[in-house]
Amino acid sequence: MTVNVLVELSNRNIDKTFTYSVPKSLENDIKKGVRVKVPFGKQKLEGYIIDINKPLQDDLKDILEVVDKEIILTDELMNLGLFIKEKTLCTLISAYQTMFPKALKAQNKTNINKAYIKYYELLISKDEIDNIKLNDNGRRIVNEIINGNNTRDSLIKISESSIKTLLSKNIIEEKKKEKYRLDNSKSYNYPKFKLNDEQTNAVNVVMNSDDQVYLLHGITGSGKTEVYIEIIERMLKLNKTAIVLVPEISLTPQMVERFKSRFNDSIAILHSRLSEGEKYDEYRKISNGLVNIVIGARSAIFAPLKNIGIIIIDEEHTTTYKQESNPKYNAIDIAIERAKNHNAKVLLGSATPSLESYSRTIAKKYHLIELNKRANNKDLPEVTIVDMNKEKKKGSYFSKALIDKINEKLSLNEQIILLLNRRGYASFVTCSSCGYVSKCPNCDVTLTYHKSSDMERCHYCGYATKRHEICPECHENSVKNLGVGTEKIEEELNKIFNARVVRMDFDTTSTKGAHEKIITAFKNHEYDILLGTQMIAKGLDFPLVTLVGVINADTSLMIPNFRSSEYTFDLLSQVAGRCGRSEKQGSVIIQTFNPNHYAISLAKTQDYKLFFKNEMMIRRKLNYPPYCYIVSIKVIGNDYDYLKIESNVIANKIRDNLKNSEILGPSIGSIFKVKNEYHFGITIKYKKEDNLYPYLKKLLEYYKTNTKIKLDIDFNPLLW
């Protein structure tokens, strides 16, 4: 017997399977899709069995070990990997590795174990027990076991030595069973609502139409989540299963609570804040068929559920559904592909759909369903836009209107959310006499000053250095902080208001459980003001919040990306939706220096359709998606001169070969140098280009042995 094995190394030069022979002793354990250990040059590697063959060739090396009893790479996932490779031009192994938690990746060195619970069973019948002489503790332990309380963890509290004695006398025996580490015992009771007419219609359309992909466009608070839950309930009745994707950051206890209230423990949860052990356990629950609903962030799209009926992608416009590292897949594409395999449906939901998705409803590729009113019949919050150019007190971070409103809410004992989409203390450190700006030596970006650690930090590579007091250029004592981040605003809030402030951003949520802790504490009204970056804008539901303030709406308008208006509109609509969700009417104050920009002025009425119309006009004029597709190619390396020449060569080759496309560049990327490597960008814009994939494959093939250049191709990039 021989097997074809795809080994763990992701390298274009060995992007193929290697054949090994199987020693007789291991033949019975061989299955397509399990991992094996194999010799590879001087190394020992892990890989997946892709094929099994009968004919025995001579000169082959033996596999060393079979790692799994159960199949990891099912037939469906095996094909899905090929699909990802085809669509993103990644290596096949990287497509497979990205689907699994660490414990199931092909990786020779990892060792993430199952956890077990030890428990005890009686070896003799209950009647006989009475006749045996036991001391008090021994008797208590035996009784506990008879009553079903048999885990070692609880019995050891009675007496460890008595357990030992019982074992040695063969009265009890020790057993172990798999333990799922994520605590699932808590039960919840979020109310179940009678769906309103719009919601009922949405459920019926999805259940009864023949279309495959649906876009649920519903304003914030219109009850989309209830629609998801109802559809899942109906799918389960048909013996089908469901995947729900939510943005990483909104996978909060609040969200999980709503699903658990309805589906108890038939849910597995997958997100990056779980430990690797917990992820492994959740994954096994899925493959062992113990759950029929999976809720998770992007990579949960690969959950090995059988008989999927519905895949729901909440906040479908969110950029985190696109993986930024290789393979650069978009979970929506994977969802649609898996739905084909399972004859399932895909439901995309959003208050502010991506322009691409909404265009597809107009082109009748997606079936549009609308929820136009808030489920609790509350009005949308009243939004005020404050022109910061007109503020009398210059240089203040807070307008008079915002200060007054915060004071009003504090006096009513209501809660406030404040958004500033920039973390740290100051966004620039600059010298006021020579103009020197503190930059990262590895990346071409300015350093952000963090006061709590008194360090200047790079938000790209993590580089950190002590704050400069004296300018390193002109040696004057005139270094100043410019721009403002959440850390600085927190300090200001504490100066101006007598309020309990909690900050939620990347820096305060880096430890496990920190994110949940802040949310729970705020929900319990241990704080009056929640200040944070965009991570507070999504999915949260706090009944006591009646004021949302945006400190500076312009930060996201300034990013060098043709989607900056779209992102700004999304963010403002989302954050405005965080208030007035219960009985009390809410208000929103947006501070900006660009009050007339349509992305900001339209967020006032949350008029998505008008925004869509405006933005589409601009995209058409400039020929940007959805009017074309984009492929972004980065030419990366550390030899600047060589790179400059070669990226020109590449751009010209592409021009010659893709005649139906517009080729931009090579240009110096918005971030030119990252982690000591230079980036040149080439952009391909096309509507229809049959030669695109064949040619890009050729290009990758041509450069795969060139060690001075890396080509990084991103189809439909989002953060660009």
Report how far residue 402's alpha carbon sits from residue 549's, in angstroms, rounded to the nearest whole number.
Answer: 7
| Binding residues for ligand ADP restricted to 362-421, rule: CB under 6 A | 375-376
CB of 360 closer than 8 Å to CB of 586: no
Which of Zn ion, ligand ADP, none does residue 581 bind (CB under 5 to 8 Å by kind)? ligand ADP
Which of ligand ADP, Zn ion, none does residue 226 bind (CB under 5 to 8 Å by kind)? ligand ADP
CB of 305 closer than 8 Å to CB of 103: no
Sign of torsion over alpha carbons 323, 7, 90, 310: negative
Minimal distance in Å, beta carbon 570 to ligand ADP?
Answer: 14
Q: Which is nearer to ligand ADP, 312 or 440 (CB)?
A: 312
Q: Segment contacting ligand ADP (CB under 6 A): 10-18, 224-232, 239-247, 624-632?
A: 224-232
Residues whose CB is less than 8 angstroms from the CB of residue 523 and which lie 6 or more positions away in sequence, other chains included: 254, 542
Q: Which of 216, 245, 375, 443 binds Zn ion (CB under 5 A)?
A: 443
Interface with ligand ADP includes 188 (CB under 6 A)? no
Which of ligand ADP, Zn ion, none does residue 430 bind (CB under 5 to 8 Å by kind)? none
Residues whose CB is less than 8 angstroms from the CB of residue 707 and which lie 6 or more positions away in sequence, other chains included: none
> Which residue blocks in 135-218 are alpha helix, DSSP H?
136-146, 152-155, 160-168, 197-208
Interface with Zn ion includes 447 (CB under 5 A)? no
Q: Both tokens of residue 478? A: 């005139």
Which of ligand ADP, Zn ion, none does residue 199 bind (CB under 5 to 8 Å by kind)? ligand ADP
Residue 110 CB neighbours (<10 A): 12
Q: Which is nearer to ligand ADP, 59 or 583 (CB)?
A: 583
Distances (CA, A) of 180 to 115, 116, 212, 691: 7, 8, 35, 49
Interface with ligand ADP includes 222 (CB under 6 A)? yes
Class of residue 617 by CB neighbours under 10 A (exposed 0-12, middle 13-18, buried 19+): exposed
Minimal distance in Å, beta carbon 450 to ligand ADP?
Answer: 34
Report how far residue 91's alpha carbon sits from residue 633's, in angstroms, rounded to the nearest whole number.
Answer: 17
Torsion of CA 426, 430, 433, 435, to 10 degrees: -140
Which of ligand ADP, Zn ion, none does residue 224 bind (CB under 5 to 8 Å by kind)? ligand ADP
Interface with Zn ion includes 461 (CB under 5 A)? yes
Minimal distance in Å, beta carbon 204 to ligand ADP?
Answer: 15
CB of 378 closer than 8 Å to CB of 579: no
Report how far residue 419's alpha carbon sits from residue 592's, in angstroms, rounded to the nearest whole number.
Answer: 12
Which of ligand ADP, Zn ion, none does residue 375 bind (CB under 5 to 8 Å by kind)? ligand ADP
Interface mask toward Zn ion for 551-590; x: CB under 5 A? ----------------------------------------
Q: Which is nearer to Zn ion, 420 or 458 (CB)?
A: 458
Minimal distance in Å, beta carbon 557 to ligand ADP?
Answer: 25
For ligand ADP (CB under 6 A), the number of binding residues is 17
Report how far residue 361's alpha carbon sits from residue 333's, in angstroms, rounded to the nearest whole number.
Answer: 16
Minimal distance in Å, beta carbon 373 to ligand ADP?
Answer: 11
Interface with ligand ADP includes 353 (CB under 6 A)? no
Interface with ligand ADP includes 193 (CB under 6 A)? yes
Phi/psi for 685 (5° steps) reads -115, 130
Q: Which is nearer to Zn ion, 232 or 440 (CB)?
A: 440
Which of ligand ADP, Zn ion, none does residue 223 bind (CB under 5 to 8 Å by kind)? ligand ADP
Q: Which of 440, 504, 530, 711 binds Zn ion (CB under 5 A)?
A: 440
Q: Both tokens of residue 186? A: 């808590």
Interface with Zn ion includes 460 (CB under 5 A)? yes
Minimal distance in Å, beta carbon 146 to ligand ADP?
Answer: 45
CA 31 from centre of chain: 32
- Residue-wise burial string across 51-90, b where 16 or more C-beta atoms lie within 10 A, e elsewhere: eeeeeeeeeeeebbebbbeebbbeebbbebbebbbebbbb
Which of ligand ADP, Zn ion, none does residue 220 bind (CB under 5 to 8 Å by kind)? ligand ADP
Interface with Zn ion includes 458 (CB under 5 A)? yes
Q: Both tokens of residue 163? A: 């357990």
Q: Which of 199, 430, 508, 683 binds ligand ADP (CB under 6 A)?
A: 199
Interface with ligand ADP includes 702 (CB under 6 A)? no
Partners of 296 in the β-ladder: 245, 270
Interface with ligand ADP includes 299 (CB under 6 A)? no
| Binding residues for ligand ADP restricted to 538-567, rule: CB under 6 A | 541
End-to-end CA distance of the chain: 49
Report how far residue 50's alpha carbon sits from residue 31's, in angstroms, rounded to the nearest whole number.
Answer: 9
Minimal distance in Å, beta carbon 196 to ligand ADP?
Answer: 5
Interface with ligand ADP includes 224 (CB under 6 A)? yes
Report how far residue 436's alpha carbon sits from residue 455's, in angstroms, rounded to the nearest whole number.
Answer: 17
Which of helix, strand or coil describes residue 202? helix
CA 248 from centre of chain: 4
Q: Which is nearer to Zn ion, 125 or 325 (CB)?
A: 325
Residue 524 CB neighbours (<10 A): 9
Torsion of CA 63, 65, 70, 76, to 10 degrees: -30
Q: Both tokens of residue 248? A: 């990483």
Interface with ligand ADP includes 220 (CB under 6 A)? yes
CB of 32 closer than 8 Å to CB of 49: yes
Q: Which residue has the tokens 């031009």?
A: 89
Q: Segment contacting ligand ADP (CB under 6 A): 162-170, 223-231, 482-490, 566-574?
A: 223-231
Q: Both tokens of residue 479? A: 């270094």
Interface with Zn ion includes 444 (CB under 5 A)? no
User: Mind spelling out the 3-state secondary structure of 469-496?
Assistant: CCCCCCCCCCEEEECCCHHHHHHHHHHH
Q: Both tokens of residue 603? A: 């967020």
Q: Segment contacting Zn ion (CB under 5 A): 20-28, 387-395, 454-462, 627-635?
A: 454-462
Minimal distance in Å, beta carbon 198 to ligand ADP?
Answer: 9
Interface with ligand ADP includes 218 (CB under 6 A)? yes
What proportions of the chain, in percent to the nearest 5, are helix, strand and coil? 35, 25, 40
Minimal distance in Å, beta carbon 506 to Zn ion?
Answer: 15
Interface mask toward ligand ADP for 524-543; x: CB under 6 A? -----------------x--
Interface with Zn ion includes 672 (CB under 5 A)? no
Minimal distance in Å, beta carbon 669 to Zn ion?
Answer: 14
Which of Zn ion, ligand ADP, none does residue 397 bind (CB under 5 to 8 Å by kind)? none
Q: Segment contacting ligand ADP (CB under 6 A): 139-147, 214-222, 421-429, 606-614?
A: 214-222
Report how far residue 350's alpha carbon sits from residue 353's, in angstroms, rounded to the nearest whole number.
Answer: 5
Q: Segment contacting ligand ADP (CB under 6 A): 48-56, 177-185, 187-195, 649-657?
A: 187-195
Q: Segment contacting ligand ADP (CB under 6 A): 192-200, 437-445, 476-484, 628-636?
A: 192-200
CA 542 from centre of chain: 22
Q: Which of 100, 119, 263, 463 binds Zn ion (CB under 5 A)?
A: 463
Determine the number of helices (DSSP H) and then strands (DSSP E) in the chain.
Answer: 20, 29
Interface mask toward ligand ADP for 572-601; x: CB under 6 A? ---------x--------------------
Kindly list the residues in this chain that would bind ligand ADP in the complex (CB under 6 A): 193-196, 199, 218, 220-226, 375-376, 541, 581
Kindly list the residues in this chain that would bind Zn ion in the complex (CB under 5 A): 440, 442-443, 458, 460-461, 463
